[in-house]
A and B are shown apart, each in its own frame.
Chain A
Amino acid sequence: DTEVTQTPKHLVMGMTNKKSLKCEQHMGHRAMYWYKQKAKKPPELMFVYSYEKLSINESVPSRFSPECPNSSLLNLHLHALQPEDSALYLCASSPGQGRLDTQYFGPGTRLTVL
């Protein structure tokens, strides 16, 4: 089983709202990722958690706040977003095997900021 689940599938929010995206995997993977994907572009890495600790932050604005409550769950808290933050947000996980690591992606959350 190589399933990563994400909720919600779609989210519409205003610029003053606070919302959260959720991601879950039960493959025993030790690394989890958030990506942002704009239309017709490849995914862009935002954050990486390794063994539940934040290991990479790709200079993402503070209105995006990641959280890893345990090894199976990853959240992305959203606050005061801008319309240009509208995108597909993808979660991924991997076993944590260095060069041999393989990332498995979830179906994504389609976010629209009004």
Chain B
Amino acid sequence: GDSVTQMEGPVTLSEEAFLTINCTYTATGYPSLFWYVQYPGEGLQLLLKATKADDKGSNKGFEATYRKETTSFHLEKGSVQVSDSAVYFCALSGGFQKLVFGTGTRLLVSP
């Protein structure tokens, strides 16, 4: 079945450092790919998405490119802020109304 694998956390960075959170997937067909962010005590917010190969999703300085050849959708940000501290979930949708989530990666950014 479909699955998503994320890097283990926590990822600990200093403010203004470069961020990469790795995400790879296994799916039949051509899924849509998503990054969701969850701040402490809150629900999930859609951060960005991509629906086909080579699409780049971007939002709030975050970017991820849908790489079909490597089945990856890595999340990147050039300069993180303390306010980016949160849990980040990579997810895919192959249709059929089901999102398949990765395990989540906690990001901790210190001043």
- On A, residues with C-beta under 8 Å from B are 2, 6, 31, 33, 40-43, 45, 48, 50, 55-56, 88, 90, 92, 94, 98-108, 110
**Contact call A105/B45, Cβ cutoff below 8 A:** yes
Q: Which range contains the number of B residues in contact with the other chain?
A: 20 to 34
B43 close to A103 (CB less than 8 A): no
Given contacts A45-B98, A45-B99, contact A105 B44 (CB under 8 A): yes
Taking a contact as CB atoms closer than 8 A, the residue among B45, B49, B98, B103 that contacts A42 in the complex is B103
When distances are taken between beta carbons in the complex, the residues of chain B under 8 Å from A103 are 46, 93, 99
- Asked, given contacts A50-B97, A56-B97, A98-B95, whether A43 binds B44 with beta carbons under 8 Å apart, the answer is yes
Minimal beta-carbon separation of B95 from chain A (angstroms): 4
Nearest-Cβ distance from residue B91 to partner chain A, whole angstroms = 8
CB neighbours (8 Å) of A33 from chain B are 97
Nearest 4 Cβ contacts at the A-B interface: A42-B101, A105-B44, A99-B95, A107-B43
Give B contacts to A, CB under 8 Å. Answer: 29-32, 34, 36, 41-46, 49, 51, 89, 93-95, 97-99, 101-104
Please state if A56 and B98 are interface contacts (CB–CB under 8 Å). yes
Q: CB < 8 Å: which of A6, A31, A90, A107 contacts B97?
A: A31
